[in-house]
């Protein structure tokens, strides 16, 4: 999927009594999120985001490689 098509508002989610939210079906479909998937939760200013663990791990690997090149 084209990354530009992911830059949109998908709807809303309600926080339940136990602090749980349901990610809207359109988001789960667009980002291939399935039951049991692990997501990293992060915050910046007043925004909260979710990143699949695999994607975050890939980012960290690339960042580590870049840092190693800079140190040489």
Determine the pLDDT at residue 3.
55
Domain around 30: 1-34
19, 43: one domain: no
Query: DSSP assignment of 9-56, as one string?
Result: --------TTS-----HHHHHHTT--TT--EEEEEETTEEEEEEHHHH
Distance, CA of 39 to CA of 33 (rounded, Å)? 9
Determine the pLDDT at residue 56.
87
Q: How many domains does the chain have?
A: 2
pLDDT tens for the chain, 72 residues: list them: 455 556 788 889 999 999 999 999 998 998 899 999 999 999 999 989 898 998 888 889 999 999 999 887
Distance, CA of 72 to CA of 70 (rounded, Å)? 5
Determine the pLDDT at residue 37.
95
Determine the pLDDT at residue 1.
46
27, 44: one domain: no
Determine the pLDDT at residue 38.
94
Sequence-distant (6+) residues with CB within 8 A of 12 are 24
């Amino acid at each position: 999927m084209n990354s530009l098509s992911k830059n949109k508002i998908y709807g809303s989610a309600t926080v339940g009594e136990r602090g749980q939210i349901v990610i809207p079906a359109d988001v789960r479909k667009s980002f291939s999120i399935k039951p049991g998937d692990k997501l990293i939760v992060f915050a910046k200013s007043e925004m909260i985001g979710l990143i699949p663990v695999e994607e975050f791990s890939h980012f960290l690997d690339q960042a580590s490689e870049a840092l190693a090149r800079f140190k040489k």
